[in-house]
Amino acid sequence: MGSAVAQPLTKPKPDWSLSDMPAQTDRIFLVTGGTSGMGFEDAKALAAAGAQVVIAARNPERGEEAIARIREEVPQARVQFEAVDLADLASVRALTERLSATLPRLDGLINNAAIMAPPQRSTSADGFEMQLATNYLGHFALTAQLMPLLRKSEAPRVVTLASIAVLRGSINFDDLQYEQAYNPYAAYAQSKLAGLMLAFELQRRSDAAGWGIQSIAAHPGVAVTELIKRGPGLDSEFGRQWAEERENFHSAAQGALPTLYAATAAEAQGGAYYGPIGDEEKRGPLGLATVPAAAQDTEAAARLWTLSEQLTGVRFQ
């Protein structure tokens, strides 16, 4: 095992807020899953700071609604919608080809979109377990195929969303697709741990190859979004427990702050993992999130990377 990061990390300002966010004039960002929840808050905040923002998500109607809502608050917003299904590698490739043909560069990629713990196992267009496909493999392929655009930026950043679920996650190399015994929460934790390992491994490979990428991970704690409603369901045991405690959780806007810090703050560091550090990291002030031992296993990260290249047919270069 090795360290997940090479350089010593400095703690962020605990009360960092949108008022601390530097101007993002002329910077170009792509936010996956930006039509609702924290992705929407990311897109709105970046647009308000002067960035050009591409929201990539599945539903064009929700995309139009999101853009209209952003423009109500930020009339000068430069924001556009692009359709993508992260669980379909052909759709991911089509998106990257469109962006490569139309954007001069990409300054920031926020891998935000996710699904959580659908009760029944299902598979993607490519035959992968749906959470692994959406939360991890789609973002792996997207990031790889956007590398040429990212490397045209003077200071490119890739921010990948993890979750406090990574603390109980493991990479099940013997049954990565959960074909033998599907556990929705274990599959979710695995997909989010894979994303965290991607963030760290991308930084290591960027450093080694001179790609110039700052790869950073973030998690929101527990935020009030549509993730539960669309996953296990509000009438599930998990959903009922969540509903009882939701008054104590972050709003989507609060949950977005670690991501926005990672994406924009001058002090944010490649290879870091940011999130709230109060109440078992469910909420509270911004800080350095707990990195589980599994995410520090560099051999496992390299193995997962190679396997992901094989599964997706996509390589970083």
Query: For tokens 């991501």, what's the residue?
Result: 259
CA distance 205 to 212: 10
DSSP annotation of 52:
E
- What are residue 239's DSSP bridge partners? none
Q: Which helix (H) or strand (E) holds 141?
A: helix 138-145
Both tokens assigned to 225: 């979004």
Q: What angle do CA 125, 131, 133 make, to 5 degrees?
A: 40
Residues 6+ apart with CB under 8 A from 61: none
CB 311 within 8 A of CB 137: yes
Determine whether 101 is exposed, middle or buried from the number of CB atoms within 10 Å of its CB (0-12, 13-18, 19+): exposed
- CA–CA gap between residue 112 and residue 193 (Å, rounded): 14
Output DSSP code: residue 164.
G
- List, by residue number, the catalytic residues: 188
Euclidean distance between CA atoms 219 and 163, whole angstroms: 5
Q: Angle between the 138-145 and 184-209 helix axes, to the nearest 10 degrees?
A: 20
Residue 92 and residue 72: Cα distance in Å, rounded? 30
Q: Residue 285 pairs with which residues in a beta bridge?
A: none
Which residue bears the tokens 């078992």?
A: 280
> Across-strand partners of 215?
158
State whether the Cα torsion 22-45-253-7 is positive or negative: negative
